[in-house]
Structure 1
Amino acid sequence: MKFLLRLILLLAVLLGALFFFFRTPDTDRAEMIAKYTNENSQFVADGVGGEIHFRDEGNKAGPAILLIHGSSSLLQTWEPLVDLLGDRYRIISLDLQGHGLTGPRADNDYSANAFISSALKVLDETGVEKAYWIGNSMGGWVSWRAGLAVPDRVTGVVLIDASGAQTGEEIKPYLGARLAQSTIGKWLLPKITPKFLVRSSLEENFAQPERLTDELVTRYWELLRFPGNRTATLERGKTPREPEKWDDIGSLKMPVLLLWGKQDKVIPLSHGQAFEAAIPGANLIVYEDAGHLPMEETPEPVARDIGNWIGELEAVRDQQTEGDVAN
């Protein structure tokens, strides 16, 4: 009996030592804000006691684009597109609550409606009435849900490897998501988030993992550990995704473009095909050499296709306006 008690005590001590050895504390809020804001960064009140970090960049005279990142991501995921499209378009991006420099939402509401409300607060702050909503993964889910909920604020929708399609297909989550869904992960992840775990999860999102830079991995790792974000990630996982809304997606009235990485292991191409089949007039473009994050992995063709699509739509709108004036 004494031996068993000693063994249990020894194991407890070893586990405690391992916990403190591997423990990764939150990053410093002020340090992260100083490091990851730029001259275009702004903050706006979220209405529940926090502030939303956003950037308003590009050509302020051009059509407005609103960029919405995916789960456990951040607005910096769009920087390549900002560089490639900023000369023609006004580009607004934000850190959703529980992400980046925005941090957690005080009421733990991470529903589509809450995210849409945050995006609208950013648009209102910038004075933009209507924008093209472009979203990746969870951000795509938010974007098409916005098309249903607030169509008067949505000029068009671009879904990049978006979530929300109800195909009945089993999807294997990436490593970080699998851990977040497990009992032990829910206990450990708010305190222990090793950098190699972030790298491994990102590698599953890339078709060519060698494209990952240490700078990119560090950015994800540090901002995941922004105060409150790790706990918010677990809270977000409890939020109902309202799959029944999929039944309404065919009623979207605005133009829809679908962009998909053929090698996406997180949300496979079959989901893009389901979106194309369900949305009248939607056009699907597939990138052979991209995974779940084509706007980061292969930004040039993504920017080209978005730019061409919006350019064609704007040209048609201009012609219609000229025709209305002539009449």
Structure 2
Amino acid sequence: MTVSDGGSYVNGGAEAAGSSTLSLDDGDIHVCQDGPHDSPALLLIHGSASSTRSWNPMVPLLTGAHRVIRIDLLGHGRSAKPADGSYAIPDQARRAGVVLDRLGVEHAVVVGHSSGGVVATALAERRPDLVTALALVNTGPSLDASIVPESAAAGPSQWPPTDEQLRRIASTGFSRAGYRIPEELLDDVRGMTRHTFITTMGATRSYLEQRSLPDRLTVLGKPLLVVFGEDDRRWRSSSASDYRAVPGAEIEFLPGLGHSPLLEDPPRTATPLLAFTAIHAVRED
């Protein structure tokens, strides 16, 4: 069942716009759509403790050429946050695939930011028929690349966190101390439960412990773009070179930007992405 939430969705060449909630067997998933329905589909997947709103600055730059679809992963944003749900990466990827199926999408370029790139990889593993190409934005290739203490995944001892704790958690997501963190991103963390925060963080670690992303992507053989802010404070930016093990991978470094280039400089982030999708995006029949 699809429950409308104030948006509209029109077939043909009209705009596919607004938000809705798709009821899946294991939890409701919030979906946003923008851009012409008959343009090539571009799925954007947010990172840990974030939501569809992290992509807001990028959407206007992408809708000229794409039907842009965003989802809140289970446990995040306006999607369900069940205490007994599975937050394992393969299950998050499965839900993303079901969403695209429900929307009638047969082919999509999938873009993931940070741990969203891990979900994007898992989606390509699970549904190679659906994913035509992948773009990863500041997604660490393996746990060896992490420069954040493992204790950070445990989150603050109290929940919800204080404003000071929230800003400390979010600060490493940007290139410089003192960056004015958008309030809606702090709200995304406030909106999580402590269980979903800890469990989703742990799910990413578990997936990377099993096998590195370059190893997984090499087997898939999908076109790959890696965009990396050089001043990332969560992943060693030099680790982006590990993706060169994937045949044909394109790697774009963005000097002066940190872990969240999609927020710090949307136009610079969109430029390599649009060049990549112009080659690899597929228009539906």
Question: Which interval holds the TM-score relative to the shorter structure?
Answer: 0.7 to 0.9
CA contact (8 A) 2:146 2:234 kept: no
More strand by share: 2
* Cα deviation, residue 305, structure 1: 1.2
What's the counterpart of residue 181 of structure 1? Answer: 154
The amino acid across from 2:266 in the alignment is P
What's the counterpart of residue 68 of structure 2? Answer: 91
- C-alpha separation between the residues in 2 aligned to 1:178 and 1:52? 29
More helix by share: 1
* 1:309 is aligned to 2:276: yes
What's the counterpart of residue 68 of structure 1? Answer: 45
Residues 46-125 of structure 1 mapped to structure 2, 5 A cutoff: 46-48=24-26, 50-125=27-102
What's the counterpart of residue 195 of structure 1? Answer: 163
- C-alpha separation between the residues in 2 aligned to 1:298 and 1:199? 20
Taking only aligned residues, the RMSD between alpha carbons, in angstroms, comes to 2.4
Look up the SS of the partner of 1:91 in the other structure: strand
Look up the SS of the partner of 2:38 in the other structure: coil
| CA 210–86 in structure 1, closer or farther in 2 if over 3 Å, else same | farther
* 1:42 is aligned to 2:10: no
What's the counterpart of residue 219 of structure 2? Answer: 251
CA contact (8 A) 1:294 1:302 kept: yes
What's the counterpart of residue 275 of structure 1? Answer: 243
Q: Which moved more, 1:63-72 or 1:79-88?
A: 79-88
1:127-148 C-alpha deviation (Å, 9 max, x unpaired) = 1111001001110011122222
- C-alpha separation between the residues in 1 aligned to 2:278 and 2:38? 14
- C-alpha separation between the residues in 2 aligned to 1:171 and 1:108? 29
* Cα deviation, residue 101, structure 1: 0.8
1:229 to 193, 206, 217: 193
* 1:172 is aligned to 2:140: no
- C-alpha separation between the residues in 1 aligned to 2:127 and 2:99? 14
Q: Is there any run of 5+ residues in structure 2 with no aligned partner, and where?
A: 7-16
* Cα deviation, residue 169, structure 1: 4.6
What's the counterpart of residue 161 of structure 1? Answer: 138
1:74-115 C-alpha deviation (Å, 9 max, x unpaired) = 111111111111121100001111111113145331111111
The amino acid across from 1:244 in the alignment is Q
- C-alpha separation between the residues in 2 aligned to 1:207 and 1:238? 24
The amino acid across from 1:232 in the alignment is T
Look up the SS of the partner of 2:68 in the other structure: strand
Residues 279-290 of structure 1 mapped to structure 2, 5 A cutoff: 279-290=246-257
For normalisation by structure 1, the TM-score amounts to: 0.74
CA contact (8 A) 1:260 1:285 kept: yes
* Cα deviation, residue 301, structure 1: 1.2
1:161-212 C-alpha deviation (Å, 9 max, x unpaired) = 113x237355224xxx744427xx4xx33x2411122222222211144542
**Structure of greater Rg:** 1
CA contact (8 A) 1:66 1:93 kept: yes
Look up the SS of the partner of 2:228 in the other structure: strand
1:241 to 200, 207, 231: 207
The amino acid across from 1:219 in the alignment is E
Look up the SS of the partner of 1:234 in the other structure: helix
- C-alpha separation between the residues in 2 aligned to 1:160 and 1:296? 11
- C-alpha separation between the residues in 1 aligned to 2:79 and 2:143? 33
CA contact (8 A) 1:56 1:126 kept: no
1:138 to 77, 95, 115: 115
* 1:147 is aligned to 2:124: yes
For normalisation by structure 2, the TM-score amounts to: 0.85
The amino acid across from 1:166 in the alignment is S
The amino acid across from 2:257 in the alignment is A
Q: Percent identity?
A: 27
Look up the SS of the partner of 1:40 in the other structure: strand
- C-alpha separation between the residues in 2 aligned to 1:54 and 1:102? 9
CA contact (8 A) 2:44 2:70 kept: yes
